[in-house]
Structure 1
Amino acid sequence: MSVLWIFIAVLGLSLVGFFAGRTRAIASGGGDIRVLHSLPKHYGAFVSTAALLPAVIVLALWSVLSPAMINSSVASLLPTSETSADLALNDVKRIANGLDQAVAQGRISKDASYNFEGTPEEIAKQLGAVGIALGSAPDTATMDAAESYRAKAEKSRFWRGVAVLAASVFALLLALRVTDKEFRARNTVERVVKGLLILSASIAVFTTIGIVASMLFESRNFFAQYPALQFFFGTNWAPNFRGGSDLGILPLLWGTLYISFIALIFAVPIGLFAAIYMSEYAGPKLRAVAKPMIEVLAGIPTIVYGLFALVTVGPLLRDYFAQPLGFGESASSVMTAGIVMGIMLIPFVSSLSDDILNAVPQTMRDASLGLGATQSETIKQVVLPAALPGIVGAVLLAASRAIGETMIVVMGAGAAAKLSLNPFEAMTTVTVKIVSQLTGDTDFASPETLVAFALGLTLFAFTLCLNVLALYIVRKYREQYE
């Protein structure tokens, strides 16, 4: 039984439980709802929740534990080394899932789904004929493992449906048994809702912990194979999956900071001036039109910005600046990526700064104007100093956004890892190399692949420090107004 049908069945049981619990509560009070401890809907909600939550918990646990157990069982059937076990297991899953799809679509019969014989190359051709493509030709052991995987997965799906529905029915009957006029249904439902709210609030925390833990674990494996000092202080980036790689992060950090700096130089003045105009000079009608139009820039996908950099901005800078001034011949450059990224950051700086400027009390402006200051003097000497901590925080948050950008850099700045001051040369960033090191059919246990996690951990620590600094500045220097 698929997850969708299981979920529909559980929702149906939950709905039945609502009306059954409500009816049982009213019946226990002799038809008089005034003698009930809680409202009838609370009794219905209690039984409905009792039928739903245990089923969801069982389904979640089964979805996590069952695949791990099946993978462990099937992996023992594969005579592969530890470094290639993951790749072999992926082929097994691909074959099993492909066979399931071929049987479901009628391309092959269920009984003949494993009748593939011959050499590994012949088996690969037979699999390709039913739409299953593999990176390497599977041997007999792989096909046997795929058969075992498919049988275990099918059995797991069957017992998953039985376990979830059994848990739902058992919890529903138990909830109906305790439901009577004296039962504190409202208190129980409120405690359950409170628990769900706490769980929802904890998801972000647990997700962050999981992300950091995964990066730390894989980074530890990387530093066990590659010297940490050479990684953090190396000036050459030249990965080679055949051995002898140079994985120094300094060229990547330089490209990241250089492009981000140019982006901020472009975005901060324009965004701040736009915020000042929208907050202090623009009328309500103009503001109602202009502010949403500026914020539309934040909703444009970054791949569109990358295409704009590749097709328009890059050739323009090359033809009118780089070539005439003798700085280079390439359309992909730090300046191209920085300017386009700066355009993307304008709404971040503008919107945050506009909200911060509007938070300054109008009484401060009126007092300054009453003392004879002009509007421009009031903005410069009263409004901006009062809003400065928030503006600095907005700039630092925009910097964090710039450091984590990938697509604009890929299409606008190229992929060359180098240390150079020429803004019209192609360079790259940490995020681009994270993508490139994890792309393709690579050995996941090699330092050339694991370096992506070390790069991600470094970038995470860098942006975390920027965010902490922004929060510190905002909290330490913000003004409290009545």
Structure 2
Amino acid sequence: MPVFWLVIVVLALAAVGYILGRSRALNSAGGDIRRLHSLPSYYGWNAALKVIIPALLLLVVWLLAQPFYVNSVVSKMIPQAEISEGSSRGLVMAEVRRTANGLDSIAAAGLIDDDATRNLRVDTTDVTKLLKDAGQVVTSGITQPVLAAAQHYRIMKASGDLIMSIAVVAFALAGLLWGVRESHFDFRARNVVEQVVKALLIAAASIAVLTTVGIVFSLIFNTWEFFRLYPAADFYTLFEWAPSFSGRGGASSLGILPLLWGTFYISLVALIVAVPVGLFAAIYLSEYASPTVRGFAKPMLELLAGIPTIVYGLFALLTVGPMLLTVFGDDGLGWMQGGRAVMTAGITMGIMLIPFVSSLSDDIINSVPQSMRDGSYGLGATKSETIKQVVLPAALPGIIGAVLLAASRAIGETMIVVLGAGAAARLSLNPFEAMTTVTAKIVSQLTGDSDFASPEALVAFALGMNLFILTLALNVLALYIVRKYREQYE
């Protein structure tokens, strides 16, 4: 049974449990609600929660554990001879899973009989052709061991899904009987339900932490797999980015330095545009603008934050690039050879970041106590002197936070870079040349008809890991600066 319908069945049983639990509690009290320890709805929710929580918890655990078990069993079927130089058992297993998913797709489409997909003597050449014709990602000709492993993978997965469906429904029914049986007038249903709700709130609060931990471990494992196939020293010291999808372990130069330089350079240009404009806009809106002007200007400025980045990318490609080319191109100063350049992406990204800086800075400046301004005016300072010497220093921690948010947003931007800066990985100080960033290369390495069982695909995880560490370092540095300055005004 598909997971969606399994969840629907559990929710339906929970609704039945709510009705039965509520009615049974009222019947046990002879219809007199005053004899009940808790309100009738608590008895219904007690039964419903005892259906939902065990069943869905089992479902989640099963969905997480089954792939690990199936992979461990199937991976033992792969002979060592199948693992070529520059590859690993994990990468071959990725090919097995893609083959199994492809067999499911072509069987569902009627391109091959389901019995044929289970036949160990089926011609691997015919299966490879069918998968390619159906648009499935097949890196090379499927070998007999990979096909056998894929067939066993499909059988184990189907059996596991069937057992999971039976077990989840059984848990839901057991929870239904348990909850209904507890529905007696002297049962403390309110206490139980409130404790369960408290536990659910704690679990919801833990999702962010668990998600972060999951992302980090995913990056670490795949980065480790990459460094098993590609030397870490070359990755961090080479000044060339030249991936080659010629096969497993192909001769590629995967140096991160050109990508880091492009990321920093474009982000720097964006911050040079966004920080002054955004900060000055925030100062004007909070200190000089009338309520009417502020009520109109601030929402209009914040509309920029809602524009999709692909629109900014098109704006860079069709407007900013040609404008710069007319001034700095061959018809002007001759510094710019094409519309895609660091300046194109940086200026466009800076425009996108203006609302992040201005809106947050405006809120922080407005939160500075009016008594500090009044004290400055009382000492004879002018409005501009008060802003420069009192308001801005007091708001500095928040402004640093706004700049940090803008920097993190700039480092993680992709579409503006792809459309505005080009795809050239180079080390250059010329802002009128095309460059690229780490995020753009992550996208390019994981899209298209690429060999996913290769360092050229796994390098995307190593790039993502370095980007994560870079962003984390920026946050730690900003936190240190914020705490240092905050102590002066508390």
The reply to whether TM is greater than 0.5 is yes
Equivalent position to 1:217, from 214, 221, 224? 221
Alignment correspondent of 2:193: 189
Matches within 5 A, 1:40-439: 40-72=40-72, 80-81=82-83, 82=89, 83-100=91-108, 102=109, 120-123=124-127, 131=134, 133=136, 135=138, 136=140, 149-241=153-245, 243-323=250-330, 324-439=332-447
User: Aligned partners of 2:289, 2:135: CA distance in 1, in Å?
Assistant: 61
**2:466 aligned to 450, 454, 458, which one?**
458
CA 1:128/1:441 → structure 2, altered by over 3 Å: closer, same or farther? closer
Q: Which moved more, 1:235-244 or 1:274-283?
A: 235-244
What is the TM-score with the length of structure 1 in the denominator? 0.89
1: CA distance, partners of 2:150 / 2:222? 28
Contact 2:38–2:189 (Cα < 8 Å) also in 1: yes
| 276-285 vs 424-433, greater mean Cα deviation | 276-285
Change in 2 beyond 3 A, CA 1:179/1:118: closer
Q: Partners of 2:178 and 2:389 in 1: how far apart?
A: 69
Instruction: Kindly state the Cα deviation for residue 32 of structure 1 after the two structures are TM-superposed.
Output: 2.9
Are the aligned partners of 1:253 and 1:429 in contact in 2 as well (CA < 8 Å)? Answer: yes
| Mapped partners of 2:236, 2:396: distance in 1 | 35
CA distance, structure 1, for counterparts of residue 436 and residue 452 of structure 2: 23
Amino acid corresponding to residue 203 of structure 2 in structure 1: L
Secondary structure class of the residue paired with 2:14: helix
Shift of 1:132: 5.8
Q: Over residues 303-352 of structure 1, what are the superposed CA-to-partner deviations in whole Å (9 max), with x where a residue is unaligned?
A: 22111111211122122124322323121111111001101111110111
Q: Secondary structure at the match of 2:265?
A: helix
2:214 maps to amino acid: G
Q: Which residue of 2 aligns with 1:31?
A: 31
1:430 Cα shift? 1.6
Contact 2:98 2:137 in 1 (8 A): no
Question: Aligned-pair distance for 1:147?
Answer: 5.5
Q: Which residue identity is paired with 1:333? A: A
User: Per-residue deviation at 1:115?
Assistant: 9.5
* SS at structure 2 position matched to 1:84: helix
Deviation at 1:353, TM superposition (A): 0.3
Aligned residues: 477
Give the AA of the match of 1:259: I
Moved more, 358-367 or 224-233: 224-233
For 2:292, the aligned partner's letter is K
Distance 1:265 1:284 in 2: 29
**What is the aligned-residue RMSD (CA, Å)?**
3.0
Cα distance in 2 between the residues matched to 1:98 and 1:61: 29
Pairwise CA distance, 1:138? 5.2
**Counterpart of 1:92 in structure 2: which amino acid?**
A
Counterparts of 1:133 and 1:245, CA distance in 2:
25
CA distance in 2, matches of 1:409, 1:155: 46
> Shift of residue 365 of structure 1?
2.4
Q: Deviations over 1:53-104 (max 9, x none)?
A: 111112212322334444555556666433433223302211213322x25x
**Using the alignment, how far apart are the partners of 2:240 and 2:224 within structure 1?**
21
For 1:240 and 1:5, the matched residues in 2 are separated by: 44
Superimposed CA distance per residue, residues 411-465 of structure 1 (whole angstroms, 9 cap, x where no aligned partner): 1111222221111011111222222233344444544333322222221111111
Aligned residue type for 1:383? V
Most deviating of 120-129 and 260-269: 120-129
